[in-house]
Structure 1
């Protein structure tokens, strides 16, 4: 090696070793600060530079439904509130940039047929109604996203602190980045709100707080009913492995009853119509729309969603990396039973959810990927300390 290369190598090693000596004694403080700073930064960006999406029109209308019965008045009020909140360019984009949005902006009757997709997020809508007593409905929706982002960051810090792993804060920040935490927080949807309750349920279950964990799962279900898929898979694994079968059985039964009530009471158009609307065509109105089930079209949906997942989303790569990490880096026989049950249930539910309804966006898998990541991170670090058993 030439003298210049030797100098560069020696300089790099000296700087690195010095940085490690300075970092290691303060790693818990620094790691916790990095995670806290990232959470605060995300919340600040979401608050100062809010994003908007078309779903906000429907959710705003859902908040107002208990006050306004007439579909035309409801449509006009929701659009007026959104117009007051958005810039002129944003409002124009969300109402005029494609045929579907133009029809929704101009036809209250067509808009009303879409409400079944949104009314069934009861927990989200009711929380927004509660906050709307202190502010306007659009701001209430934004505040749910902001508070959900803050609560998720605090929960992850608590999870690390419980196992004296605050030094892993930068790793958790990296996980949040690859799982799209920032964009999910900025998006005004129920996803992050439900994700908080799912992550809290995962944490509480690992801590043997089964009843609070079950209640958190039910809360997530009321916010996004499609989380029933995880609750069902989790129930099966809990039944097989044994930790608190009775509580998880009661949770699953309550979730099924709640799911049936929500679908019946809120007028959801049904699984296949929803699939078609999401993956085939944004039809301008659901009135009289009832396409027959087609196995060929279903396969096309799976293929199309898989391609989109692989080309512009991260969840498949993250899931694959977590599976490899579990296979190569975790002493599975020594892993405590509860995290193991939860880990298997999460992985299986991701696969099951995808085949039942092939969402391609990472935001739908965020809580499951972060849950797996936290479980594996804790397991690996405890394994390194000899604390797995």
Structure 2
């Protein structure tokens, strides 16, 4: 039986920071079986649009808070820390390069490195201008030589080749602040950084493998809703809208003339069915308006995507349970027949943490594990098809 190791998972999203401490051990049959021994999620204070410059410092403060809390509960040595960035903290692109000629190209590491480096430089130029970000992932998702898909693209010569890359990056000021906090509080220099898109895709593939080949994944954040169109296990395009769960709370806050924090508490009481009738009526009016605004923004986004791609009628919602349920009502209450294929009815599926817990063998002994942390724990070693050679 192998020696136990502890890993820390830190999830940084729009509006919240989550942390899980996970024990990985061999049980004699399966290696690296994960067991969650502590987890926590802390929501960020509501920040108005005029104060967006405070977002990084506020987020780092919450990161430090959850790290300190985790360290107090588990006073043992950690093997490594995995940090996952959700929207809007990272930039990413999926790019496909195609080439065909009469002359064969020798596909070796030096040749491939030139192609890969050129793609990374172009990605940085498009998204960061003169700034130098931290490249988080540079992954070769798919390679085809002479019309045949291969996992060993650097083993011969080819007249035709096609490579699909996933490249992601985060502002270096953000990653430096997080690394510094982890080093100071946990005393760990081994920090591995990831972005949510490939981990989310890996988790969805794990659950729905062989069931659907094309679908739309909707990542429901507190401030941002992001859409990923997936076909044949690849993200072929994405789009985001500046509306999320916090936007719904702000509608309630405005109507009831209370702070967003109080509005959030009122909304929870509404969901629990314990709100007095007067407030209930006002909250329902706020939710009706929020559904309309979210639906209108969603339709605009989907029309932009459908102008270039045929959309799948399968939509997989990734978010906190109450948020996913609310957004499902947004989609079901809007006429979308002219956007999605008419021959297939809309098939909306809600991904929940329990799906991954059962399939990954994860058990929670230190708190309630949310979906985002569950996806990261179950997918952290499976998200890449193969790295750059």
TM range, smaller chain: under 0.3
Q: TM-score, normalised by structure 2?
A: 0.27
Q: TM-score under structure 1 normalisation?
A: 0.27
Greater percentage in strand: 2
Indicate the structure with greater helix content: 1
